[in-house]
Amino acid sequence: MNEKFKALVLNLSGDNFSREVKTLDKDFFKAGDTFVKVEYSGLNYKDALILKNGARLVKEYPHIPGIDFSGKIIDSKNLNFKPGDEVILTGFRVGEIYPGGYSQIVKVKSELLIKKPKTISNKNAMILGTAGFTSLLCAFAIKAREELLLGEKVRDVLVTGATGGVGSIAVMILSKFGYNVTAMTGKKDKTEYLKKLGAQNVIERKEFEGESKLLGKSLWDGVVDTVGGNVLSNVISQTRPNGIVAACGNAGGFKLNTSVMPFIIRGVKLWGIDSVMISQKRREFIWSQVTDLVDFKLLEKNIKTVSLEELLNVFPEMLKGKTSGRILVDLNK
């Protein structure tokens, strides 16, 4: 195994927070039983927050961020993994309290890894990454209205923040489920792209940014909300009886100003989506569904691929809401 590799390292000395691409050796890693050669990682909103200032998530420095990655096993003490096995890691606080994917080599606990489905490539795995994985969790939460709760069939669904990494893939998957998808966005120039993904309607976000009514007009059987704040308050008030709102983001704010009325009058379900600590069995199920639900050729048209060095210039744009689609990090670039 090559002793030297390139990684993006965060450091904190007093009040001085730094980000730098460095050459390291494997002795950098203090824990774990498995070395992985990382091929791809991604830039998620949480990554951007960590890259900005640690986001109070990083506890020890120096630190390698990157909350997801795909690659090949180099060496493992776990007999279930052998050199050459292709693996995926998302969640489990990797990139936060454990070294993450912004490194050509990473050492992790083997129980955090799952083997990549043979039907997709390592690149495709990270075109989805945490964002796509979260989208799938959201979509299956909406589907639960008719399958798990035995309710009426889902017809009309809304996706907020639809041009983002989670939102854009959610539009595609919900469309594949046969639902009538409305995409909410603040980026008018992405209307045609959203329709190619499967959105039948595109609406502007500004209509949802004011204070919500106790109960609005019933419009949606299901909602995937990636924004939070007043947008989430408004879509909850507009959700039909026994509808499901899958909430997974907070770019529009952490606080939720709502009332009990949608929940006790309409039986609306607010389903929080956690992609970090869910079971391995559910992870394996979600990844097994990817081939049938995701059109990678279409997603690749709105993918931006960057190197570690370029990543340092891109993450501030995400925090300003100026990016769309998925940002892919190529560790060999």
Query: pTM of the prediction?
Result: 0.88
What's the confidence (pLDDT) of residue 2?
63
The dihedral of CA 306, 312, 313, 316: what is its sign? positive
Q: What value does the mean pLDDT of the chain take?
A: 93
Q: Which CATH number describes the domain made up of 131-272?
A: 3.40.50.720
What's the confidence (pLDDT) of residue 1?
57
Q: Are 258 and 231 in contact (CB under 8 A)?
A: no
| Rounded-to-integer distance, Cα 261 and Cα 79, Å | 53
What's the confidence (pLDDT) of residue 187?
85
Residues in CB range of 281: below 8 A, 6 or more apart: none
pLDDT band (50, 70, 90) for residue 181: very high
* 3.40.50.10800, 3.90.180.10, 3.10.530.10, 3.40.50.300: CATH of 4-116+296-330: 3.90.180.10
| Rounded-to-integer distance, Cα 312 and Cα 333, Å | 14
The residue with greater pLDDT, 205 or 269, is 269
Q: Is the pLDDT of residue 60 over 80?
A: yes
Q: Is the pLDDT of residue 138 over 90?
A: yes
What's the confidence (pLDDT) of residue 213?
86
Q: Is the pLDDT of residue 20 over 80?
A: yes
Q: Where are the CATH 3.40.50.720 domain residues in the chain?
A: 131-272
Q: Where are the CATH 3.90.180.10 domain residues in the chain?
A: 4-116+296-330
Q: Smallest Cα–Cα separation from 268: which of 242, 237, 234, 247?
A: 242
**What percent of the chain has pLDDT above 70?**
99
- 73-82 pLDDT, tens per residue? 999 999 999 9
